[in-house]
Amino acid sequence: MKDLVQKFGSFTTEQIKRRPRRARRILIAAFKGFGLATRFGGNDDDLPARKYLMYLCNEAMARPLAHPDDTVIVSIFTPCEFLQAMGLKPVFPEGLGCYMTASACEDIFLEKAEECGVPETLCSYHKMLIGMAETGVLPKPACIVNTSMACDANQLSFRYMAEYFQVPHLVLDVPTGCSGTNVRYMSDQLHQMVDFLQETTGRYMDPEKLYGIMTRAADTIANYKKIMALKSVKHERSKITYHMLDIFATHVLLGSEEVLKYTECMIRDLKKLPDDTPGVRIMWVHTMPYWQKSVAEIFNYNDQVEVVSCDMIYDGFTELDPGSPYESLAKQMLKNHFNGSGQRRIDRVLEYSEKMNIDGILYFCHWGCKQTLGCSALAKAAFEKAGFPTLTLDGDGCDSRNIQEGQMVTRIGAFIEQLEALK
């Protein structure tokens, strides 16, 4: 399988150099084809719900490339419920970065961005976004909407993209703290976002449709909490890829009928598993290099070691009131554990590590993510004080040039042995 992916990546890279539009069509077909193949085939160990999620995410990545006129480039924390209510589709750097690396054609995009003057130290997800635009593979979107939350690369890459494509650009300024003043400030900006999208795209935001989307979003979050509770007493033989796909479901696809259906199926599938939590149970913090074979081989379909969850899945688990969409989504953004001090994120990881019977925490320092890197020492000290052995691991979520594979495998192996000895 790896050889096939590498051959595909080499072939597609050559097309990107000579015929970028053809390369785009190849990628669209590959995403759609792989999604369908996984949904109706795939690995027998994967739960049916997981296969369905793979299909949804592949469709979500293919469609914006195929239909750019109704596509909005967003940051991962942009509330996309409003886009859904207008029939607009989001595309975001983390999703693009993961899929391009999984397709083994990431190097050309990263190198192109660096040729254009983007520093090597910039987050590789955002560097990938710029490189895809500069090569001509990423088509011109309708507009760009991003938040100021968490990632300082937001303020560089999205502005760059807006100037490159010459499209309207809106930045949502997210303050820290969920005071009444901040909720009103954020709610006003979300009203402005809707006005901006309507004026820019000519689409109408239907309040009744938004109510249904918000209801599904609230139900989806409630279902995810049930999933977390089930996973605290179940062992799922799966692969770490699916945790990254859950990030799609809890962010840019939240509120869709398909994601709600996925969570309902996931609850049913998990209930069928025996109540058993053998081996070592790990909470992963931040993004995952799921495409990295050496790391995937440690965790995928392993009866002795399981990555149970990732903190990027439950960062926005707040109650939503469908009758007050602007205020609800404002509060969700303000309460997100990526917004504000690192202590908020630490506290949320500890909360879910306790709930999910975690044995240890793997804190992944993705290249270029200054917030995660800067908080690593504080987080490790707090986790270990609370009784959770912690491995801080340097790596990259999508740049295969920027990893020290042997060292990573050795350190993960030693960490697992440590956790096994403590059980």
Which residue range is the domain that position 50 belongs to?
2-422
Q: Are 145 and 197 in contact (CB under 8 A)?
A: yes
Q: What is the pLDDT of residue 152?
A: 76
Helix (H, G, I), strand (E, B) or coil at 368: coil
Q: What is the pLDDT of residue 130?
A: 95
Q: What is the pLDDT of residue 62?
A: 95
Q: Are strands 305-310 and 89-91 parallel, antiparallel or unpaired?
A: unpaired
Q: Are 121 and 93 in contact (CB under 8 A)?
A: no
CA distance 46 to 375: 34
Q: What is the pLDDT of residue 1?
A: 58
Report in angstroms the alpha-carbon separations of 163 from 74, 128, 160: 15, 17, 5
Q: Which amino acid is at 110?
A: L
Q: Are 223 and 264 in contact (CB under 8 A)?
A: yes
The number of folded domains in the chain is 1
Q: What is the pLDDT of residue 83?
A: 97
Ordered per-residue pLDDT tens for the chain, 423 residues: 557 889 999 999 999 999 999 999 999 999 999 999 999 998 889 999 999 999 999 999 999 899 999 999 999 999 999 999 999 999 999 999 999 999 999 999 999 999 999 888 888 999 999 999 999 999 999 999 999 988 777 788 999 999 999 999 999 999 999 999 999 999 999 999 999 999 999 999 999 999 999 999 999 999 999 999 999 999 999 999 999 999 999 999 999 999 999 999 999 999 999 888 778 999 999 999 988 889 999 999 999 999 999 999 999 999 999 999 999 999 999 999 999 899 999 999 999 999 999 999 999 998 877 778 788 899 999 999 999 999 999 988 888 887 788 889 999 999 999 999 997
Query: Which of 144, 67, 90 is CA-nearest to residue 255?
Result: 90
Q: What is the pLDDT of residue 42?
A: 82
Distance from the first to the final alpha carbon of the chain:
35
Alpha helices in 19-92 (DSSP H): 20-40, 48-66, 81-85
